[in-house]
Copies of this chain bind each other. A is one copy, B any other.
Amino acid sequence: TGVAMMKFKSPPVNSLSLEFLTEFSISLEKLENNRACRGVIITSAVPKIFSSGLDITEMCGKSMEHYTEFWRAVQEMWLRLYGSSMVTVAAVNGSSPAGGCLVALSCDYRIMAENPKFSIGLNEAQLGIVAPFWFKDTFVNVVGHRTAERSLQLGSLHPAPEAHKLGLVDELVPEEKLMEKAAAVMAQWLALPDHARQLTKTMMRKALLDRLLAHREEDIKNFISFVSKESIQKSLRMYMEMLKKRKS
């Protein structure tokens, strides 16, 4: 059918580790180069979670080299996904904070399970950190400036119904209908001639992609300088402690 399915399967919470991101980018590149593949549906094989976002352990107590490699992998993933010439549909079948939300925001269409226990948002501020400018730009392009400003400052995680109301996701469906709906949406988008659709997508997204490409090394330096601060390391360690306690 020309449609690939990518199921995130990195328990317990599909953290975007260096390894995960590298594999994700390679998979996207392979599909991109496979002319038979015209669309990809992204979902999770882990119950209740789409992706928990960037793996905080990659940002704690590591070397400059590691931070550089990690951040380049985050950039690479976004450049490939946001700039994909394929139709990309996120079937958000669980919670999706921070980097997980970015993955969904970078797709062409977002369908979410209508479970109010699942939430989605760029909640970086809650962790004492700041989303980089291209997370913000991607968010603004989906929900507009005002909603983005408020949501980013509050680090909001929006329950599915609220996310839908804000336009953060396009559609809610009962969880058991999620894949069926994703396939139907994909078929609708694939009914268009690829060439015209791809040029249109590029026209809409090129300015953002170019902005990161133009500032990629600067963005890496910013990340390293930020994450190297003792105060930020402390915030991240506290957050990891909290996560551990919550689990046990």
Residues of A within 8 A of B (CB): 108-109, 124-131, 133, 136, 140-146, 148-150, 152-155, 167, 170, 188-189, 192-193, 195-197, 199-201, 203-205, 231, 235
**Contact between B133 and A203, CB atoms less than 8 A apart:** yes
Q: Which of B125, B136, B204 contacts A197 (CB 8 A)?
A: B125
A94 to chain B, nearest CB (A): 23
Find the B residue at minimum CB distance from A148: B204
Majority DSSP secondary structure for residues of A touching B: helix
How far does the alpha carbon of A144 sit from the alpha carbon of B142 in the complex, in Å?
A: 9
How far does the alpha carbon of A203 sit from the alpha carbon of B149 in the complex, in Å?
A: 9
Q: Which of B124, B144, B170, B192 contacts A196 (CB 8 A)?
A: B124
**Contact between B145 and A204, CB atoms less than 8 A apart:** yes
Find the B residue at minimum CB distance from A127: B196
**Contact between A128 and B193, CB atoms less than 8 A apart:** yes
**Contact between A125 and B204, CB atoms less than 8 A apart:** no
Cβ contacts under 8 Å, A149 to chain B: 141, 201, 204-205
**Contact between B193 and A130, CB atoms less than 8 A apart:** no
Knowing that A128-B196, A153-B201 touch, tell me 7 more A-B residue pairs with CB under 8 angstroms.
Answer: A108-B153, A109-B150, A131-B200, A149-B201, A149-B205, A153-B189, A154-B192
